[in-house]
Amino acid sequence: MSTKKIETAVPNSVDQIRDILFGEQISLIEKRFASLEKSLSSAIEKLADKVDKTNKEIKEQISQSNKELSANNLQLEQQQTQALNKLESTINAKIIETESDLVNQLQMEVQKLDNKASHRKDLAQLLKDMATKLED
């Protein structure tokens, strides 16, 4: 049992000697480590809060941008629809105008042909009359 007492007494006395020699410095180092740990924890916490805040702001900006893009897309779609409708109306009006011009030209040509045909009939009648008179 006496050897156990010596073995336990030796580590205790080494610890005591270490405390006597370095006690104050170890205490200062432990305080400094505690202060650094506290400062580091505080900085990490602030940084995490700042990252969360920035993340929320970015999400809000993305959401706002998406809303603006949707509104712009809708506006562009409406403008394109109006432009297409206007173009369709213009094309339809041009088609109707062209069709009307063609019909008028056809009618004029038909009328000219009718006039020529009636002149031919008159000429034929005149020639028949002359032939009849010549026979007499």
Separation of alpha carbons 55 and 61, rounded Å? 10
pLDDT at 114 over 90: no
Q: What is the pLDDT of residues 78-93, one digit of tens each?
A: 999 999 999 999 999 9
What is the reported pLDDT for 1?
Answer: 45
Give Rg (Cα) of the chain: 56
Mean per-residue pLDDT over the chain, rounded? 85
Binned at pLDDT 50, 70 and 90, residue 21 comes out as confident
